[in-house]
């Protein structure tokens, strides 16, 4: 899968949790989704993309969830 698609999907997951008033719960929701539904290779590819391109294009909840 292309890295651009992974970034887009990760941001969509994060935006799903935008209505959660407790940020820690929102980050946990993102983390849980990535663990349950993404392969380790997908998570690794997204992390590598973020390391190379920076984190500006990725929602902060995703950054926290992967950190």
Per-residue pLDDT of the chain (67 residues; tens, 9 = 90+): 899 999 999 999 999 999 999 999 999 999 999 999 999 999 999 999 999 999 889 999 999 999 8
Q: What does pTM read for this prediction?
A: 0.93
CA distances from 40 to 48, 57, 63 (A): 12, 21, 16
């Amino acid at each position: 899968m292309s890295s651009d698609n992974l970034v887009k999907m990760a941001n969509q997951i994060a935006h799903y949790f935008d209505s959660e008033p407790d940020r820690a719960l929102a980050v946990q929701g993102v983390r849980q989704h990535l663990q349950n539904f993404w392969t380790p290779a997908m998570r690794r590819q997204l992390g590598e993309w973020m390391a190379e391109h920076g984190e500006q294009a990725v929602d902060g909840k995703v950054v926290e969830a992967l950190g």
